[in-house]
Amino acid sequence: MSEAMDVLTMTPTAAGQVRRLLATRDNAKGIRVSVRQMGCSDMSYTMDFAEEAPEGHILVERDGANVFVDPEAVQYIQGSELDWVEEKLASRFIFNNPNVVGACGCGESFKVADKK
């Protein structure tokens, strides 16, 4: 299993949405995934367009969809799955993250067990 697969996998639905989003941006080479400290539970996922492969980032590719994972986020999202869900009133990316030990009620932030 490759390092990228150990860090993050994408469902076919998520890969399709990444491809659709990248098609709307002339210079985008992929989506960059990171985490930052914020929210009531500690950490939050961030996603933005990457116009080039960020140095040191881990490339996760599925069916032509590129996601670049910030190496500093690996300890928080190791083993996660990126999915795209469509509901009646909202559509969004979700992270099925096995490291999460708590989350805020609104789903904007999460907490992982302390890493030793």
Architecture of the domain whose range is 3-112: Sandwich (2.60)
Q: What does the pLDDT look like over 81-111, one tens digit per residue?
A: 999 999 999 999 989 988 877 666 555 667 6
Q: Which residues, 6 or more positions from 86, have their beta carbon under 8 angstroms from its beta carbon?
A: none
Helix (H) / strand (E) element for 62: namely strand 58-62
Burial readout 62-98 (b: 16 or more C-beta within 10 A, e: otherwise): beebbbbbbeebbebbbebebbbeeeeeeeebebebe
pLDDT digits (tens, 9 = 90+) for 57-83: 999 999 999 999 999 999 889 999 999
Give the bridge partners for 102, in sequence order.
Answer: 111
> pTM of the prediction?
0.85
Domain ranges of the chain: 3-112
